[in-house]
Amino acid sequence: MALTAVQVAVVVVTKKQAAKAIRHKLNMVKMVMCTLGLVVTTLFFGTAHSAVLPIERADVLYHSYEGDGVTIDGPSVLLRKNIGGRVSVSANYYVDTVSGASIDVRATASPYEEVRKEKTIGLDFLNNKTLLSTSFTNSSENDFEANSVYLGVSQDFFGDLSTISLSYSKGWDVVGRRGDESFEEEADRQKFGLGFSQVATKSLIVGFNIEHISDEGYLNNPYRSVRFLDSSTDRGFSFATETYPNTRSSTAYSINANYYLPYRAAIYGDARTYSDTWGIKASNFKLGYIHPIEDDWVFEVFVRHYKQDKADFYQDLFSRPNEFNFMARDKEMSTYTGLTAGISVSYEWQFSQTAMFKKSAVHFEWDYMKFDYDDFRDATAQTPVGEEPLFGFSANVLRIFASIWY
């Protein structure tokens, strides 16, 4: 029996999605093969010179994010200490206290408050001028539990002018939902990274990074909903649970450069391009300038631009609850642009190199962020359905911290 036009269209779409998934799988396999090849290349043939352990220091930071009706703040403490000349250990304790409600929540539910605590322990091992790094991270909140392990190798070669780094991490998430004890879903994540940096001149360093990430499992945000037309309600629409695919693969490429100016100051820049199997395409670039005064003060300014095209299954307003197999209205899946401008200032105290503490510093960093959405409307506006104003918001981000080098 001949297929109907609709059935043909469905088959074509399914085949396209399958082909897309296969392409990304092949992409991942090739990246793994190249990664393994490069590990062998650098570890067994590379002429390494001077990989070094990370600098010993301690930082205590207060962070704050305020924007779109949400306040997120808390402390972060990072300690790093060497054991002998070949081992460095680190520990980080980080807390997010979230209160308020973003536009996604305001449209469908009440404000809330929750706390997320993240703990990371890390170990770096310097072996024959190759730096091996590993870490374990646990992130815990009342409705989300995430664990991940990280492995990385980095090596300098070509007279210390070149550095290659490879990384792999694996994460396991358990997703819950407030007010629903029976809700428990899982998601796994793998990341493959490859980085290369090169000293180009005595004042210029350039770098290149690739990262492939694959997710599998429950990838929805259980608190975000799709909006669909519903003439039985006063406002003309209702909300239903989002439905995402169970897999996602993404690849991102970035380049960066740092240039030392003729006087003591530096400019830097980076650019990234991104795509994934959900149809999201994005790019961003950043330019910054660092200006020290004497040995005490360091000033920095930067501007960063981000642009994103929506996921294939994103819509602001659907016709009915089960219109498609996959449906999303998470604003981070939509088409939008973001602009961030930041300034920072640090003051440093230099001590004797023979003293217990070599140096200390206090830092103040402020970022202003602005996001404008092209196809995400403010569903809280009292206007006819589908004619609400496009959404946008700004946020202020603060980082205030003190550091000690020893």
Partner 1 sequence: MKMVNKTSVRLILVACVALFGSGCASTFDGFSNPLANIEPWVKPYERSNLADPIMSMNRNPVALSYAKHVFESREGARGADGGAGGGCGCN
Using CB under 8 A as the binding rule, the residues of this chain from 84 to 143 that contact partner 1 are: 92, 94, 96, 116, 118, 120, 133, 135, 137-141, 143
| The one among 51, 226, 298, 379 contacting partner 1 by CB under 8 A | 298
Which one of residues 88, 209, 225, 315 is an interface residue with partner 1 (CB under 8 A)?
209
Among 217, 222, 321, 392, binds partner 1 (CB under 8 A): 222
In the bound state with partner 1, the residue whose beta carbon lies nearer, of 157 and 228, is: 157
> Rule CB under 8 A: is residue 351 a binding residue for partner 1?
no
Residue 33 DSSP label = H
CB atoms within 10 A of CB 396: 12
Identify the residue among 129, 191, 305, 358 touching partner 1 (CB under 8 A): 191
Size of the site for partner 1 (CB under 8 A): 112
The alpha carbon torsion through 13, 17, 19, 20 (nearest 10 deg) reads 140
> What is the Cα–Cα distance from 276 to 203, expressed in whole angstroms?
36
At closest approach, how far in Å is the CB of 384 from partner 1? 29
> Is residue 272 a contact point for partner 1 (CB under 8 A)?
yes
Cα–Cα distances in Å, from 225 out to 18, 107, 373, 389? Answer: 26, 9, 17, 19
CA distance 361 to 396: 23
Residues 147-186 within binding reach of partner 1 (CB under 8 A): 147-148, 150, 152, 157-162, 164, 167, 169, 171, 173, 175
What the block records as the tokens of 309 is: 């095209």
Buried b (16+ CB within 10 A) or exposed e, 216-234: ebbbbebbbbbbbbbeeee
Please name every residue paired with 302 in a beta bridge, in sequence order, or none if there are none. 288, 342
Residue 234 Cβ vs partner 1, minimum distance, rounded to whole Å: 30
81 touching partner 1, by CB under 8 A: no
Least distance between partner 1 and beta carbon 254 (Å): 4
CA-wise closest residue to 128 among 155, 151, 152: 155
Told to check if 226 binds partner 1 by CB under 8 A, we report no
Residue 26 binds to partner 1 (criterion: CB under 8 A): yes
